[in-house]
Structure 1
Amino acid sequence: MPPSSTVYLPPQFRSQDAAHAARLMREHPFASLISVDDGGLPFVTHLPLHLLEGEGGWSLLGHCAKPNPHWRLLAARPRALVSFMGPHAYLSPQVYPDKARVPTWNYLAVHATVEARLIEEPQAKDALLKRLIADHEPGYAQQWRDLGDDFAQRMLAGIVGFELRIEQIECKLKLNQHRSESHAAMHAGYVGGNEQEQGLARWMQHLGLVGTAP
């Protein structure tokens, strides 16, 4: 892991298991793509991305509308950051057996430093869209084909695709790993909670902090 970091990452929350990062990126594909604009400020586009794993490394595939200036920023400065946020929830100090504690927030996140390559050829953009369709609504693939070439070409002309080659991944799993005395009560509170809390409960099981993995 290079010494540079894009996120505060204490050792107890750092995951070195690439499978954890891949699972988070696939289960929570709606990401924030962050570049630096011409004025030196961050420019953010929120978008779904498809994780592509290959022998040469990992890439993320996505696209933005042609009027969105982000693709021009990627052309000028290909290096960018992608942030994925997994489940997150409040953690009450009531989970500890003693009272000298404070509240915190648990969350799972992945930061990927990437190098961008624009995809502008229509057939390549169509292939990219089909990967995203397969991720989110496979049944729409036939409808997309049935709309005809003229319609498809007009739609494809309105977007710019890109491949984001991943150079570095930082996976942060903040689940109070260093406070084992809190795990049972923490899991009990999360497992019957809202969708975010249930997601954290499943990850606690997956990481072996309580019970067994689903």
Structure 2
Amino acid sequence: MYTKEQFSIPPAAMAAFVRRKSFGVLATHLGDEMFTSPLPLDLRGQAPDGLFVAAHIARANAMLAAFEHRPRATITVLGPDSFAPAEWFGTRSRIPTWLYCAVELSGRLEPSDPELTRQDLLVMMDRLQKRAVEGSTWTLDEIPDHLSGEYLKHIAGFRINDLTMTSCFRLNQRKDHSESLADALAASSDPACRELAPLVAQPPTLQSA
């Protein structure tokens, strides 16, 4: 992913962003053929060297053919984004632009056996359940065995190891009129714009000055 130093956020912030979203687009290849698939994901371990992604796809997904070759793979996780017209800068002498937040995770894809797939699925579901429903105690064990077993037969788990992470939070850094832009975003009816407003006002990036 193309980025610049002023658009990069610290590694801990990248990990937090990915864990908060827990959804991205996986891209990999087999020979000259590229495959992409949107999917939930679980970023686990500790930085800098212990991070890995656990996820799964449907066995019916044609991407599965690439897994046995343990290819390089990339997951792109996108945050809020918006077109920013010239008027939002409080001047008509600005070129319109696009604001966005993104993190890419790249590494070596390793297919998981059925038992590891089940374990990783349970860990991810437990985390997301408790985040979505306060005090949730739901588990996969509440599903009849024949139904959960049938579901698990139709998914293929994998991990992505040896991760590198890249970020691009393009938020008008090193340019003027950020206060006017943040105010315009905050006043918008679009939830993505309102989410961008405090980020533009105070970018979380390494070099925002």
Q: Give the alignment's TM-score, normalised by structure 2.
A: 0.84
What secondary structure is seen at the aligned counterpart in 2 of 1:62?
Answer: strand
- Unaligned 5+ residue runs, structure 2? none
Q: Tell me the residue number matched to 1:165.
A: 161
Residue from 10, 20, 23 that aligns with 1:30: 23
Residue from 54, 57, 80 that aligns with 1:61: 54
Q: Is the 8 A contact 1:66 1:159 kept in 2?
A: yes
Deviation at 1:8, TM superposition (A): 1.8
Q: Tell me the residue number matched to 2:151.
A: 155
Q: Is the 8 A contact 2:129 2:138 kept in 1?
A: no
Distance 1:45 1:72 in 2: 13
**More contact order relative to length (CA 8 Å, sep ≥ 6):** 2
Matched, 1:183 2:178: yes
Q: Which amino acid aligns with 1:165?
A: N
Matched, 1:101 2:97: no
Matched, 1:134 2:130: no
Does the C-alpha gap of structure 1 residues 208 and 62 become closer, same or farther in structure 2, counting only changes over 3 Å? closer
Residue from 168, 174, 193 that aligns with 2:170: 174
- Unaligned 5+ residue runs, structure 1? 1-6, 210-214
Distance 1:203 1:52 in 2: 25
Residue from 70, 77, 83 that aligns with 2:76: 83
How well do the aligned residues superpose, as a CA RMSD in angstroms? Answer: 2.3
Q: Identical aligned pairs, as a percentage?
A: 21
Deviation at 1:196, TM superposition (A): 0.7
What secondary structure is seen at the aligned counterpart in 1 of 2:80?
Answer: strand
What secondary structure is seen at the aligned counterpart in 2 of 1:142?
Answer: coil
What secondary structure is seen at the aligned counterpart in 2 of 1:150?
Answer: helix
Q: Which amino acid aligns with 2:125?
A: I
Q: Give the alignment's TM-score, normalised by structure 1.
A: 0.82
